[in-house]
Structure 1
Amino acid sequence: MIILIPAYQPGTALPQLVTDLLSADPRLIILVVDDGSGPAFSAVFDDARRAGATVIGYPRNRGKGQALKTGFGYAERHHPGQDVVCADSDGQHAVPDILSVAEEVRAGDDRTMVLGERRFDGAVPARSRIGNALTRALFRSAAGGDLHDTQTGLRGYPAQLVPWLRSVGGDRYEYELNLLLRAGPAGHRIGRVAISTIYLAGNGSSHFRPLVDSVRVYAPLLRFSLSSLAAFGVDLVAFVALGLLTDSLVLAVVGARVVSSSVNFLVNRRFVFGAGRHASQPGAARRYFALVVALLAANYAGIFVLTDLGVPDVAAKVLTEALLFAVSFAAQRRFLAVRIPAAGHGAPPDHHPNRLISRAVP
């Protein structure tokens, strides 16, 4: 078993973590990736080596995602067939929790990644609590599963997943969320182990940049929103033009939706739900346009009711589209991507049996 620790400007908690892990299990291979920390931190990495870790890295900071992929590549070349558990370098993952995740990986199958999920009890910094709640809600919308902790850095992967891990895009904090979003379409499963929540000194050691890194993390939803906004613009222009040409609400609604939905399908398939482009295009198109018909009926009904109540056509159109946005996103995610499948035994009642698995380790 490899314990992979990406590290950027670490403190003394790193060599202590290496010492504690090897004291708990001398068979572990500890691999530390120096993510361009600079000469000022050489002593910390030297201490980690003396404690028994293998330290690799590069001179310029390239982000946590790149550090993880560098570690996966090293593991694949030098320790083929070894499972990998990733842990943070700042002491926020307790050794017993790391070993619990490792044990769950050993006990699982070769297509199931394991997350160490924090309970978020006790004194949790506000930005961490809010950030996790927001990401959890967005993940539920984008991937259809309710993960309690989408931002955990404690994760375990069977050896067979390592090539796939290296293929997923993202160089910084968005990489770990990308793994969760891409797991289902790639046919992989997500297991979970409950771990303790530890924040040291108000999480002051975190290198997460709230604005820049949040944009990266939430990019998939932002891409969908921009795509939908563009499609809405096309739909609205076509709706007004056809309404003037035909003086028919039915023809205006139907014609505008045919044009805008064709544009939206191609954009979402290629740029938003990227994994969907590898599926059969005719099959995806049939599912998508079945959705279009259903939304079209709802769209027409909404506009008809609102205009009948005296709301102007364009205002009725805008209001109806706004109400249907969330439905459209959730449904397109289902049709253009693949659901996260179940693995092993039944999931708890609050989890869909076809999406996620959860098995807490005492």
Structure 2
Amino acid sequence: MPDSTSWIVIPLYNEASVIGDVIMNLRPRFTHIVCVDDGSTDGSPEEAARAGAHVVHHPVNLGQGAALQTGIEYALTHDSCEYIVTFDADGQHRVEDAVEMLETARSEGAAIIFGSRFLDDRTNPGWLKKVVLKTAIRVTNLTTGMKLTDAHNGLRVIRRDAADQIDLKQDRMAHATEIVLELGRTGLPWREHPVELLYTDYSKGKGQSVLNSINILVDLVVR
């Protein structure tokens, strides 16, 4: 039976060619999927709704941080929501990893599970991207006081009591550091879990490039 107590939250911006498949892959395991359309211009919200997701709209593009905040708030309005799973729209996250992370959260009593691509060797981001991401991890850990191995992985499991304390203000890439900081401040137990990221030609072209990783560092410094 699909999990009816966990809500999948997907920030969505111009992913019309893949979002339907992402949602269809999730639906056998999860009852509730919400996509926050962040001002898409390519028919993404229609594709998401057609695949069976709840769709919440931003009339203009506000950035991934804002979309995550909207999705988290939407999920929390439902009494059925015990856990929130943040999930990317471009097909790089695996449903199996999300399921395993939820199982770990429940069995170990963890309020927060961070997905990490660097806890095993299944993911190969390329040496330059890896160097940039590792640098971002060090900056994030210094900023937040956490000790993560992967600070900018969008696959996370967040228990309701932790999600209630999230109030993201950073709209662009810096939100990934901000959410780590806010979750760390809750004082609730957290874990990392090994996950595999699927670097397809599409996902690289849509924002998983080395340039995007450098933009993460710029956002961290500027904001």
Give, in whole Å, the separation in 2 of the partners of 1:51 and 1:169: 30
Which of 28, 31, 37 is the equivalent residue of 1:34?
37
The amino acid across from 1:172 in the alignment is R
Corresponding residue of 1:6: 11
CA displacement at 1:185 relative to structure 2: 3.1
- One-letter amino acid of the counterpart of residue 70, structure 1: T
* 2:56 corresponds to 1:56: yes
Q: Are 2:153 and 1:162 equivalent residues in the alignment?
A: no
Q: 1:186 deviation in Å?
A: 3.1
Aligned residues: CA RMSD? 2.4
**SS, match of residue 192 in structure 1:** strand
Q: What is the identity, as a one-letter code, of the residue corresponding to 1:214?
A: L
Structure 1: distance between partners of 2:213 and 2:197: 20
Q: TM-score, normalised by structure 2?
A: 0.84
Aligned to 1:137: 138
Q: By how many angstroms is 1:51 displaced? A: 1.8
Partners of 1:5 and 1:80 in 2: CA distance: 18
- Structure 1 residue 209, shift from structure 2 partner: 4.7
Gap change, CA 1:155 and 1:29, over 3 Å in 2: same
Within-5 A mapping of 1:259-278:
none
Equivalent position of 1:176 in the other structure: 176
Rg bigger for which structure?
A: 1
Whether contact under 8 Å (1:140, 1:146) holds in the other structure is yes
| Aligned AA (2:200) | L
Structure with bigger helix share is 1
Q: SS at 1:71's partner residue?
A: helix
Give the deviation of 1:124 after TM superposition. Answer: 1.5
TM-score of the aligned structures, taking structure 1 as reference length: 0.54
Structure 1 gap ranges (5+): 221-362
Gap change, CA 1:168 and 1:108, over 3 Å in 2? farther
- Give yes or no for contact 1:20–1:95 (8 Å, CA) kept in 2: yes
Work out the CA distance in 1 between the residues paired with 2:193 and 2:124.
21
Q: Distance in 2 between matches of 1:34 and 1:145?
A: 31
- The whole-number CA distance in structure 2 between the counterparts of 1:63 and 1:182 is 18
Distance of 1:159 and 1:46 partners within structure 2 = 29
- Residue type of the alignment partner of 1:4: V
Q: Deviations over 1:213-272 (max 9, x none)?
A: 53322347xxxxxxxxxxxxxxxxxxxxxxxxxxxxxxxxxxxxxxxxxxxxxxxxxxxx
Change (3 A) 1:190 1:2: same
Structure 1 distance, partners of 2:184, 2:160, is 18
Determine the structure 1 residue equivalent to 2:92.
92
For residues 150-196 of structure 1, what are the alpha-carbon distances to aligned partners after superposition, in whole Å with 9 as ceiling and x for unaligned?
Answer: 1100001001122211x243122211211212333332333111111
User: What does 1:163-312 align with in structure 2 at a 5 Å threshold?
Assistant: 163-165=164-166, 167-201=167-201, 203-206=204-207, 209=212, 213-219=216-222
Inter-CA distance 184–4: structure 2 relative to 1 (3 Å threshold): closer
Shift of residue 14, structure 1, vs aligned partner: 1.2
Aligned to 2:65: 65
Relative to structure 1, is the Cα distance of residues 83 and 34 closer, same or farther in structure 2, using a 3 angstrom cutoff? same
Report the counterpart of residue 329 of structure 1 in structure 2: none
Bigger share in strand: 2
Partner AA of 1:180 in structure 2: V
More relative contact order, 1 or 2 (CA 8 Å, 6+ apart): 2
The code of the aligned residue for 2:17 comes to: T
Determine if contact 1:75/1:82 at 8 Å carries over to the other structure. no
1:46 aligns with 2:54: no
Question: Does the CA-based 8 Å contact 1:125-1:203 persist in structure 2?
Answer: no
2:25 to 20, 25, 47: 20
1:98, distance to aligned residue in structure 2 (A):
1.8
C-alpha separation in 1, matches of 2:47 and 2:143: 42
Aligned in 2, Cα 1:197/1:210: closer, same or farther, shift over 3 Å?
closer
State, as a whole percentage, how many aligned pairs show the same letter. 25
Structure 1, 3-12 or 123-132: larger mean CA deviation: 123-132
Q: 1:183, 1:189 within 8 Å by CA — same for their partners in 2?
A: no
Aligned residue pairs, count: 213
